[in-house]
Structure 1
Amino acid sequence: MKIRIGYAPGVREPQREDFAALVTGLERLGFDSLWVTERATGVGGDPVALLAYAGALTSRIKMGTAVMTLPGRQPALLAQQLATVDRLTGGRLLPAFGLGQRREEEHQAFGVRRNERVALFEELLPLLRRFWAEDAVTHHGARFHFEGVSVLPKPVRGGFDVWMGGSSQAELKRTGRLADGWLAAFVTPAEAAAGRETIVRAAAEAGREIDPEHFGATIPYRKGADVPEERLARARAVHGPAPLDELVPSLDGLEAHLRRFVDAGISKFVLAPVHSPADWEAELSEVRDAALSLQT
């Protein structure tokens, strides 16, 4: 089991001092990895730039995208970009991809229509894997055409274990067919267990097998009783008026909440505060005391 921290700056742009305190604190206190969100039309910043900066400040922690939008990106350039960061950080990159947020402004930012995202994703992900593994790629698809194109550098391990997000039935089945792991978000332990079963079944039908340790979840947590409703909007859209503790556990109840996910077959956790910490060193110390004892 691994405890990871998710970075979302809340309502303001990334601040160098805050971000540096976060990543160096993760390394010093023994957390497994840093995961950054993506919203092109929000304040979070570019995920690859954030991870490159984090890699320059650290030497041990792994770094992932939770999750990175794939439709709308050029596969050869993205393959090179991610492999370069992986090379320069000693093989510590963990890419996770998704269709992108369900917002019209996000679709406009990536230059895609909502109804074309799935077809793009299914063409893009296999192409990325080929660019990372093959010397020269020839491909003639519905959207992309390459003739003997070589992309360098290659990732340290010759490729990545690619994780995917999403919780709809279609997204879960796609994860089973195409991915090496699943990072759920805004799900209850029961929903995580059901999603895991769907993915395992879809993988078997496709003649594949996903490592049992490659099932994770992003868990937002709160300190105190009040949570700004705007920070709960996405969870409410999925679950409606579910109990607050089912959506955003308190820090005091975090360990018990995570144990329920472990019982559901989930072993990787990205913990994300719903508030914007004023002091990351103090924040990480509190999270360490609340949950890091579960890490194996």
Structure 2
Amino acid sequence: MSTSVGVVFTPARPPELIREFVVEAEALGFDEVLFFEDCFRESGLAAATATLAWTQRIRVGIGVLPIPFRNVALLAMEVATVERLFPGRLHLGVGHGVQRWMDQVGERVASPLTLMREYVTALRALLAGESVTVDGRYVRLDGVRLDWPPAAPVAVHAAGEGPKTLSLTGEVADGTLLTNGVSPGMAAEGVALARAGRASAGREGEHPVSILVMTAFGDGAQGRLAAELDAWGYTGERATGVAGSVAEVAEQLRAWVDAGVGNLLLQPLDDETDLPGFLRSCAEVAALLRA
């Protein structure tokens, strides 16, 4: 299995910096650039659409759109439009959303698992051009069909952390996204759960898995990484990322590849002030991993 390497633009930075970042990422040969959709910062879908317009080749991911936030038919309309404008380049990711943020906007649900099952199933069907009627606990559609569906179905990836969600991503989604703060050992368990969920649903084929990894280079990188992990509240096995020289970072990342992760998304720390330098170092890492 070949390893895909991408970079993350985090919304700790203003949207005015996106264009320069993504144009340089494409020029350096990355496979993907990914955007968060953290409340209440930047729209992941807006950032992704602008990036698709500014670039020619690079895959553009969203990790992730919180599903309680959007009516499924509206998201299907938005994604179908983007896909028809920029075929084959959108890497769509959805997830439960941070529950305290969902509380803030009045959209927290009693059963996130039920919502994900209903929502992802309906979204995949709508993007496949089907007429969808469903009367679920949360998703209710009556003969909804897109007038302008994508020419080909769009893969819907889902994020997961707990065992039940990870199994569900394999059951209903086209791929799984693991968040930052997931160690290689945790990633191996997640890959196994997602694959088992896919098999239990009688679905064949590969189930791709992506992961976000906090990344720091140069002198003091370990200390900077430790401080950021602490700020995120990551302790124990979750206090994980990569730091050091280009060669050291590449070697550390191989543990996630060995765990079954096919798509590595390298995330700059919030204190990173040299984004061009970060991108160049990540490109050197990518070359080592692909060698």
* TM-score (structure 1 length as normaliser): 0.87
Contact 1:222 1:275 in 2 (8 A): no
- Match of 1:101? 98
Q: Share of identical aligned residues, percent?
A: 28
Q: 1:82 aligns with which of 62, 79, 83?
A: 79
Q: 2:43 aligns with which of 39, 42, 46?
A: 46
Distance in 2 (alpha carbons) for counterparts of 1:271 and 1:162:
21
- Structure 1 counterpart SS, 2:133: strand
- Match of 1:153? 148
- Aligned pairs for 1:85-234 within 5 A: 85-102=82-99, 104-109=100-105, 111-157=106-152, 159-185=153-179, 186-211=181-206, 214-223=208-217, 224-227=221-224, 231-233=228-230
- In structure 1, runs of 5+ residues without a counterpart are none
- Alignment: residue pair count: 283
Distance in 2 (alpha carbons) for counterparts of 1:207 and 1:243:
32
Q: 2:290 aligns with which of 280, 286, 295?
A: 295
Distance in 1 (alpha carbons) for counterparts of 2:259 and 2:225:
29
- Structure 1 counterpart SS, 2:117: helix
Structure 1: 4+ residue segments shifted above 6 A: none
- Structure 1 counterpart SS, 2:18: helix
CA offsets 1:74-122 (integer angstroms, 9 cap, x no match): 11111010111112123211111110114x233322x322523322222
Distance 1:152 1:34, change over 3 A: farther
- Match of 2:243? 250
Distance in 1 (alpha carbons) for counterparts of 2:250 and 2:107:
40
Distance in 2 (alpha carbons) for counterparts of 1:182 and 1:172:
8
- Structure 2 counterpart SS, 1:226: helix
Distance in 1 (alpha carbons) for counterparts of 2:134 and 2:190:
32
CA RMSD in angstroms comes to 2.3
Distance in 2 (alpha carbons) for counterparts of 1:210 and 1:192:
20
Distance 1:135 1:206, change over 3 A: closer
Distance in 1 (alpha carbons) for counterparts of 2:176 and 2:34:
14
Q: 1:175 Cα shift?
A: 1.2
CA offsets 1:17-65 (integer angstroms, 9 cap, x no match): x211111011111000111111122x3x000000011011001001111
Distance in 1 (alpha carbons) for counterparts of 2:147 and 2:271:
38
CA offsets 1:151-174 (integer angstroms, 9 cap, x no match): 2321242x1222111121111111
Distance in 2 (alpha carbons) for counterparts of 1:166 and 1:156:
28
Distance in 2 (alpha carbons) for counterparts of 1:171 and 1:8:
24
- In structure 2, runs of 5+ residues without a counterpart are none
* TM-score (structure 2 length as normaliser): 0.88
Distance in 1 (alpha carbons) for counterparts of 2:142 and 2:165:
30
